[in-house]
Structure 1
Amino acid sequence: MVKKENVFASQGGPIILAQIENEYGNVMGPYGESGKSYIKWCANMAQSLNVGVPWIMCQQNDAPQPMLNTCNGFYCDDFVPNNPNTPKMWTENWTGWFKQWGGKNSHRTTEDVAFSVARFFQRGGTFNNYYMYHGGTNADRTAGGPYITTSYDYDAPLDEYGNLNQPKYGHLKQLHDVLHSMEKILTYGNISTIDFGNSASITTQTSMMVKKPNEAEDTPSTLKWSWRPENMDNFLLKGKGESTQTQLFDQKVVTNEQSDYLWYMTTVKFKKRDPFLGKNMSLRVNSTAHVLHAFVNGKHIGNQHVENGKFNYVFEKDVKFKSGRNVIALLSITVGLAATFKAPLGNDPVVVDLLGLGKGTAWVNGNNIGRYWPAFISSENGCAAKCNYRGPYHAEKCLTNCGEPTQRWYHVPRSFLNAEGDNTLVLFEEMGGNPSLVSFQTTRVGSVCANVYEKNSIELSCDRKPISAIKFASFGNPYGNCGSFEKGTCESSNNTIDILTQECVGKEKCSIDVSTEKFGAPDCTGSVRRLAVEAIC
């Protein structure tokens, strides 16, 4: 299809590389010779397509020629291609990490991402591609991998909603400008290494995002709901389904990958004088389901779900059977809920806060916005108040959101909404929950901060919104972080807040030279002078 549309570079189009397979080298070991044969078949098939651009194989150290093997990971400066004529390429520079149900928010520091890129090119790299550069949403049933959430924000430079994730976006932009300015020097000739030491200084703003209530609603805090419980008598009391097998059902096969839900039903018969009746008995289920609900004769006896990434578990509960026919049904109980709402005003990205609900799937105007599970709370431990960028990064290093729902807010693209008139939210709720807390909101920049050393410039921007006030400003040796700056022991003689108010308030962005000429010369003996500022958007 791609070749037919003439979009390869050999046809005058923009596509310069093509990929066959992805990270198969990470899992091919157990397949032995069959795995090696498969890789050769992939290479031959790809070449036979004659697309006119090079083919790459990611994480495939034995990629056969002319396939180009490439590196994926947090760091690829030590990567060496399997052929001296193959350029050193980094096809997935992981800017953050995905989130799992029951997990926390993972953050990779701006300093670490930028350092990894600079070191890669310093050591002979020629091509760097970010994964992800723009975060996304696993709408409908597209979430893959091990228990991955609907949000795929990935702590990317552009977040799930398309907002600039500052300072990561701005700092990488500055780095890219430097790399482009010396592109030929970096990619031609011999490599020599001189150690000038390491430093990490960020001169771009930090943006603090906020959620705003839906101003299009007179009473946006409470939606009016209607509900319809599913009629489950046939399943729970009669044990009747659409098909019968004398072997195990595979849910993905039976549902053709079109549903998260499937009833498993069976019956057990006991005679009146059966010696087992009246004795302690239990129902035991070996399960790999994300969530399991169990019913015996229409009565809910309990539920269990995957925790800590362990997808095999044993559900066991005490039960009392009756003489005659007993119906055992396994699934998730479901309730349908519906409410109408007005589209939020403006152009800011829209989210729906599903706090209070249990687990299920949501639709807006018939569009499936994904699975939700705000009842799944992450553990209390493992988060740090501040993340130290020093040392190698890993997915468990810089975590936030301890003790909170894994995902509370869900992206609703404005293309799904009716700008005029009513919109409909439908919830397929498995656990019951409390829908009274559900609300629609918008996400935007609430404030921006900077902490920049003297003799640098800083640009403050509210992302197409005017700067409304300067909350804090100090030129000297202020300390603290964005949202909690404090004045230090020395400060400039000029009123820093007044200067920045005049320079920035009412504008969408402003640029400031951090200098004694502008702010005065504070006496900060032994300290490097810097400007700390927080502006309200």
Structure 2
Amino acid sequence: MSEIVDVVAAVIIIWKEVSVYKTESGLCSAFLANVGTQSDATINFNGHSYHLPAWSVSILPDCKNVVLNTAKINSVTTISRFMHQTLKNDVTSSEAFQSGWSWFNEPVGISNNNAFMKVGLVEQINTTADKSDYLWYSLSTEIQGDEPFLQDGSQTVLHVESLGHALHAFVNGKLAGSGKGNNGNAKVSIEVPVTLTPGKNTIDLLSLTVGLQNYGAFFDKQGAGITGPVKLEGLKNGSTVDISSAKWTYQTGLKGEELGLPSGTSSGWVSQSTLPKNQPLIWYKTHFDAPAGNNPVAIDFTGMGKGEAWVNGQSIGRYWPSYMAPNSGCTNSCNYRGSYGSNKCLKNCGKPSQKLYHVPRSWLQSSGNTLVLFEEMGGDPTQISFATRQTESLCSHVSESHPVPIDMWSSDQKTGRKSGPTLSLECPFPKQVISSIKFASFGTPHGTCGSFSHGKCSSTKALSIVQKACIGSKSCSIGISIDTFGDPCVGQSIVPKHQGAHFNNQRTCLKGGSIDWSRVQYTQAKE
């Protein structure tokens, strides 16, 4: 039978909060919080003094010992980069895709046997029933020969309103314009000038989703697709015709999906010396060899517009490198303190929202792999390439005031001894060992992970101690204390605590200490 937990106290002082919980048997837990965003704080609780960095919470499961502070996480930062890798002898990674391409032109408009007709516009999600991202809306309309725009060469404007997430408008088989929603509002509204001809004109609207909302209030009622109005503006006497309530023809999915093109094994592919590029609604297929080694693999879709990709019949997701991030809003540094918002700590402004897409190694064979693309907007598939993610170094920053790492709690309970702050390092992949330690500092290092430098106080023994403990091993751990590294401030005056954003809870010289592993290199262990 569970015990009743009582909130014994919830004390709030200026920028400080203390919440204590006790059970009937006397078990006690406490949460100490510093809700200030500028200054560190000290809280006296249960006869002990606890230091809390700004905007942090300390957890005391026994109302005595701190096991976690949210600003002092024992973690290791991996510094890696993507290396574009040669796939074939004497061929660069991008050139490896340039030979052996074949393609299939996706028909514009209705081409499948599952088409149906209905008066008015339909909602997309309920219509497609998650069978496809795509839904065609097709309509034929008659244009009389006396329309003014036919006489003076002017154009009519096609106006389309959609619940999202994106759409492409084709008139008489040619792409007239496209539109997309954004992160805050999925709705799409386009107004594009179109050229109509006397007699029958076909309007084909391809509506598409890029994933379905699965949280939030009434998310199941959000809807998608073209719900109108759809209008032709600038007709005779400046009139506007609302064609939303006309009899539309609908088709769920694409012809290529019906033919099974994503598998790469179906017929219908075309191979000629000239590869169509920058053309909307086209499928591409090629074969490739897997990049050498065991590092994670990604495809760089630079040069493509928007679509989906399959490797050996498995979808690696929708790609959209032409969707650019806003040019403003990014910062060179990131301060975790303060309330979180979606615009906080932004990076890569003005760049593609994503261009690298992971391909699991388990999906790849050493050779003879198949890549299939469906490109909606137009792109150049010969520009895509493979890249492998290579871990170059690790970085970690731990001070004497950090709690004991979580994975050491059980060993402390078994031995009855209390461990201190510990910095641990481990190679990320099997058969790797630490080959070198380029920088280590115990004292008051400056900077951020990957770019630390020695401060006024720095132990002269730190680098050699870390090198001796770690080089040649897959992992190593070192206790952070003056007993291990010696006094880093010999001959220096006491340095006060620094509150700046570039310093992660820097302590006084006699109490402060941190190790920067910002330049740890790896080598492959011998079999």
TM-score range, shorter chain: 0.5 to 0.7
TM-score (norm 2): 0.60
Structure 1 pair 487/286, CA: closer, same or farther in 2 (3 Å)?
same
Q: 1:252 aligns with which of 97, 102, 125?
A: 125
Letter in 1 for 2:435: S
In 1: Cα distance, 2:467 partner to 2:458 partner: 17
Letter in 1 for 2:370: T
Question: What's the counterpart of residue 153 of structure 1?
Answer: none
Matches within 5 A, 1:375-524: 375-418=322-365, 420-454=366-400, 456-464=421-429, 465-494=432-461, 496-523=462-489, 524=492
SS of aligned partner of 1:501: helix
Q: 2:317 aligns with which of 345, 364, 370?
A: 370
Q: How many angstroms does 1:285 deviate by?
A: 0.9
Deviations 1:121-150 (A, max 9, x none): 969999xxxxxxxxxxxxxxxxxxxxxxxx
Indicate yes or no: 2:493 matched with 1:525: yes
Question: What's the counterpart of residue 100 of structure 1?
Answer: none
In 1: Cα distance, 2:339 partner to 2:326 partner: 24
Q: 1:263 aligns with which of 125, 136, 141?
A: 136
Question: What's the counterpart of residue 178 of structure 2?
Answer: 303
Structure 1 pair 274/393, CA: closer, same or farther in 2 (3 Å)?
closer
In 2: Cα distance, 1:341 partner to 1:381 partner: 38
Query: What's the Cα RMSD here?
Result: 4.0
Contact 1:234/1:241 (<8 A) preserved? no
In 1: Cα distance, 2:332 partner to 2:194 partner: 46
In 2: Cα distance, 1:459 partner to 1:467 partner: 12
Q: How many angstroms does 1:220 deviate by?
A: 5.0
Q: 2:306 aligns with which of 359, 372, 381?
A: 359
Letter in 2 for 1:536: Q
In 2: Cα distance, 1:121 partner to 1:399 partner: 37
SS of aligned partner of 1:415: helix
Pick the structure with more strand per residue: 2
Deviations 1:477-529 (A, max 9, x none): 210011211122233233x3333223222221111233445434332432333
Letter in 2 for 1:461: E
Structure 1 pair 519/295, CA: closer, same or farther in 2 (3 Å)?
same
Q: Which region of structure 1 is more displaced relative to structure 2, 381-390 or 270-279?
A: 270-279
Letter in 1 for 2:82: K
Q: How many angstroms does 1:316 deviate by?
A: 0.7
Contact 2:331/2:345 (<8 A) preserved? yes
Contact 2:331/2:346 (<8 A) preserved? yes
Matches within 5 A, 1:74-89: none
Q: How many angstroms does 1:398 deviate by?
A: 3.4
Question: What's the counterpart of residue 104 of structure 1?
Answer: none
Contact 1:355/1:437 (<8 A) preserved? yes
Structure 1, unmatched stretches of 5+, are 1-53, 55-83, 89-117, 127-174, 187-192
Q: How many angstroms does 1:318 deviate by?
A: 2.0
Q: How many angstroms does 1:377 deviate by?
A: 1.3
Contact 2:97/2:385 (<8 A) preserved? no
In 2: Cα distance, 1:517 partner to 1:391 partner: 36
Contact 1:301/1:317 (<8 A) preserved? yes
Structure 1 pair 230/396, CA: closer, same or farther in 2 (3 Å)?
same
Count of residues paired in the alignment: 363
Deviations 1:360-409 (A, max 9, x none): 11111011121111111111333333332333334443333332222222
SS of aligned partner of 1:500: helix
Letter in 2 for 1:488: G
Contact 2:106/2:282 (<8 A) preserved? no
Matches within 5 A, 1:65-104: none
Deviations 1:22-64 (A, max 9, x none): xxxxxxxxxxxxxxxxxxxxxxxxxxxxxxxx9xxxxxxxxxx
SS of aligned partner of 2:373: strand
Letter in 2 for 1:328: I
Letter in 2 for 1:481: T
Structure 1 pair 215/295, CA: closer, same or farther in 2 (3 Å)?
closer
Deviations 1:410-444 (A, max 9, x none): 222233222x3321111111112232332333335
Contact 1:474/1:487 (<8 A) preserved? yes
Letter in 2 for 1:291: A
Contact 1:358/1:430 (<8 A) preserved? yes
Q: Which region of structure 1 is more displaced relative to structure 2, 274-283 or 485-494?
A: 274-283
In 2: Cα distance, 1:356 partner to 1:121 partner: 57
Structure 1 pair 281/388, CA: closer, same or farther in 2 (3 Å)?
same
Contact 2:421/2:480 (<8 A) preserved? yes
SS of aligned partner of 2:467: helix
In 1: Cα distance, 2:19 partner to 2:282 partner: 52
Structure 1 pair 86/432, CA: closer, same or farther in 2 (3 Å)?
farther
Deviations 1:289-348 (A, max 9, x none): 322222222332221111242222321122232211111122274211122222334444
SS of aligned partner of 1:533: coil
Contact 1:220/1:440 (<8 A) preserved? no
Structure 1 pair 491/87, CA: closer, same or farther in 2 (3 Å)?
closer
SS of aligned partner of 2:488: coil
Contact 1:206/1:482 (<8 A) preserved? yes
Matches within 5 A, 1:91-490: 200-214=71-85, 217-218=88-89, 219=91, 221-222=93-94, 223-225=96-98, 226-232=101-107, 242-274=115-147, 277-278=150-151, 280-331=155-206, 333-418=280-365, 420-454=366-400, 456-464=421-429, 465-490=432-457
SS of aligned partner of 2:135: coil
Structure 1 pair 220/503, CA: closer, same or farther in 2 (3 Å)?
farther
Question: What's the counterpart of residue 521 of structure 2?
Answer: 536
SS of aligned partner of 2:396: strand
SS of aligned partner of 1:447: strand
Identity %: 38
In 2: Cα distance, 1:271 partner to 1:123 partner: 83
TM-score (norm 1): 0.59
